[in-house]
Amino acid sequence: MRIAVIGSRGRLGAALVRKWNGAHEVTGFSRPEIDLLDPKTIRSCLGGTKKFDLVVNCAAVTNVDACESNPQEAERVNVEAPSRIAAICKKKGSRLIHVSTDYVFDGRRREPYSEDAATSPLGAYGKTKAGGERTVLQTCPDAWVTRVSWVFGPEKPSFVDMILARARGDQHVSAIDDKWSTPTYTDDLADWFEALARVEPDGGIFHLASSGQCTWREYGEHALRCAQAAGATLQTTSVGALLLEDMEAFSAERPIYTVLDTAKFTRTTGITPPPWQDAVERYIRATI
């Protein structure tokens, strides 16, 4: 396939380029090639004579607190720009994968969210990402909107890398223990996107995440145990518990529970996502 990846220097976009190069003809667009605040760059890169079979939009304003302090920019990048991308894809006959987030849910339930669960985002980040989902599917009904959670991978440091770095130099490491979701490996997402594009003719919303659920503290402790087993020298493998309400640096409200139900993806592709513990262990073994 001829594939365009928007946001190719981000954690997920860079992983897609790395994983797909060779098997497909991949063109990565990062800023400033495509600046989602500048419609002209979107038109010049995607609306020219070259046609892509698949366009993957990984780019967004994802800093939850930054979205709260500058909702206008979040609206332009997370809602208006995806609409323009979808319009070009519809006009040129390109399939679109638009990457969204578990933050479109308010987190008040305690069982995994399916694709048809009502969205009710708490803050500007979730509201603009939910708005982006709606405008993409309204503009280009055969697009795939893929909601992902707690993404980690080698191209850009994430929580798992941060907790390992802390444990290498400090005996006291802590993480939030009252917020639940599922860590998801970028290498797995690359395989799942490809499978979805290969077998699913219809558009719509799909949840893509590892199986199971955990808190940040449980995630961190598992990562530390895996790293120690892989030969890393750590000061501790225990992670202390913090409460979300104690995080004074957070200005935006976060949803407490955003575990995603991936049964629809499994029915569609025949792929059952592995447990999050397996994904974290594979990542750490590949990077330690």
95-101 vs 184-185, strand pairing mode: unpaired
Q: Which two tokens stand for residue 249?
A: 């640096």
Q: Which run of H or E residues covers position 133?
A: helix 124-139
The residues near 272 (Cβ < 8 Å, ≥ 6 apart) are: 211, 266
Question: What is the C-alpha radius of gyration for the chain, rounded to an integer number of angstroms?
Answer: 19
HSE-up of 194 (CA within 13 Å, CB side)? 18
Characterise 139 by phi-psi region: left (phi > 0), alpha (psi -120 to 50), beta (else).
alpha
Q: Could you give the dihedral angle defined by the CA atoms of residues 105, 111, 117 and 119, in that order, rounded to the nearest 10 degrees?
A: -10
Tokens 């503009």 sit on residue: 139
Residues that are catalytic: 125
Q: How far apart are CA 122 and CA 104, in angstroms?
A: 8
- Could you tell me the CA-to-CA distances from 201 to 91, 141, 206, 268 in Å, in that order? 18, 11, 13, 10
